[in-house]
Structure 1
């Protein structure tokens, strides 16, 4: 059974530490990571600074290479790049134990990560690896799909649950809508773009953990 862990880790123990240290008021949100046998390719949003300053800082960061800007908006920009072997913890997560980083938000002080493990054994391997290599991954919350509490049983983070509940109370999902995305975002004190991404991820988790049946369901009767 899948296990979800939420971790805090100092920025110097994860990716893009030198960049975050150079441009200290910047926030990085990793949207997804494409993993192959040879390379890990993160897609991530950068906000809080003009893209040129971020790109200049990345040029001297050994944890990432082949940066490419995919899109740019008023408050943020979307990038694709490649992680290098300088961030062993990330490489280990994907290539050795096959866990998945569902969310990661980084500042100059720390990264907040949400990781999905296939089972407790996989989680134990990850924690043992961090301990053996002096990596300061601090577990903040742990839950699995069998726990009948809040949104954890559906794979939701507290922030995703808060966004869904707030949008529901403000009748954002009604037809016609009684409030706008901007009004819900103002209530949560976040940007519209952050709210949109948070709702999208929340819907993805809800569908994946309530409506989607794994491959073993081929013998199930309708």
Structure 2
């Protein structure tokens, strides 16, 4: 059964932390890693007030081929990072073990990572790696949240995941509601009916693959 680990590492011990180095108090969020062209492509979100220094820092890194602005929403910008990952790094070990980086948030000093390993054996091998490499890793949480076949995002499609995240971040579920269904639909250039269906299917999938796992097994 797969297992998810939440951990904290020093920025200089995490390859993307070295590349995406920022100054305090800026935070950088790696939302997902998509395999494109044979390499994992990180999609990175950063506040607009840090865009200039962020772009300069990333472009100056030797392993980066290109950083592409994908989208700007409110006060944040989303980038796709075209890079050449090292073959001997913490991230390379994650990929070698067929693990999935579900998310990562970093500052100038540390990065918090959420990683899904295919098994407890894979997690043990990863732990042996960072202990042997003298990497200061702080494990915050280990859990088995979903059915084994649920996929890296609790069974959600990429579209469902993005829609649910945006809805929560923008206050769609707040009281009082800070974003209308039509406003949310306009964000994705779809109808209000389409975005409502995304939310409904996404929530149903989350519940089936998390809260109802024990009842189905």
TM-score, normalization: structure 2?
A: 0.65
Q: Is the 8 A contact 2:48 2:77 kept in 1?
A: no
Q: How many residues align?
A: 171
With over 3 angstroms needed to count, the CA separation of the structure-2 counterparts of 1:100 and 1:55, relative to structure 1, is same
Spell out the pairing of 1:1-222 with structure 2 (5 A cutoff): 1-14=1-14, 15-17=16-18, 19-21=20-22, 23-35=23-35, 38-47=38-47, 49-86=49-86, 88-94=89-95, 96-145=96-145, 178-181=175-178, 203=203, 206-207=206-207, 209-210=209-210
Q: Is the 8 A contact 1:8 1:138 kept in 2?
A: yes
1:210 is displaced (CA, Å) by 4.4
- 1:179 partner SS: coil
Work out the CA distance in 1 between the residues paired with 2:28 and 2:73. 15
Q: Where does residue 159 of structure 1 map in the other structure?
A: none
1:90 is displaced (CA, Å) by 1.1
CA-to-aligned-CA distance 1:38-60 (integer Å, 9 cap, x gap): 31100110126342221111122
1:27 is displaced (CA, Å) by 1.1
1:37 is displaced (CA, Å) by 7.5
With over 3 angstroms needed to count, the CA separation of the structure-2 counterparts of 1:204 and 1:33, relative to structure 1, is farther
CA-to-aligned-CA distance 1:106-139 (integer Å, 9 cap, x gap): 1111101111111110100111111222222221
Q: Is the 8 A contact 2:5 2:142 kept in 1?
A: yes
Q: Where does residue 194 of structure 2 map in the other structure?
A: none
Q: Where does residue 193 of structure 1 map in the other structure?
A: none
1:205 is displaced (CA, Å) by 7.4
Work out the CA distance in 2 between the residues paired with 1:26 and 1:120. 34
Work out the CA distance in 2 between the residues paired with 1:203 and 1:54. 34
Gapped regions of structure 1 (runs ≥ 5) = 147-153, 156-163, 183-199, 214-222
- 2:49 partner SS: coil
CA-to-aligned-CA distance 1:56-111 (integer Å, 9 cap, x gap): 111222354311001123411000013433472112211x1000111110111110
- 1:102 partner SS: strand
RMSD: 3.5
Work out the CA distance in 2 between the residues paired with 1:42 and 1:212. 31
Q: Where does residue 220 of structure 1 map in the other structure?
A: none
Q: Is the 8 A contact 2:28 2:106 kept in 1?
A: yes
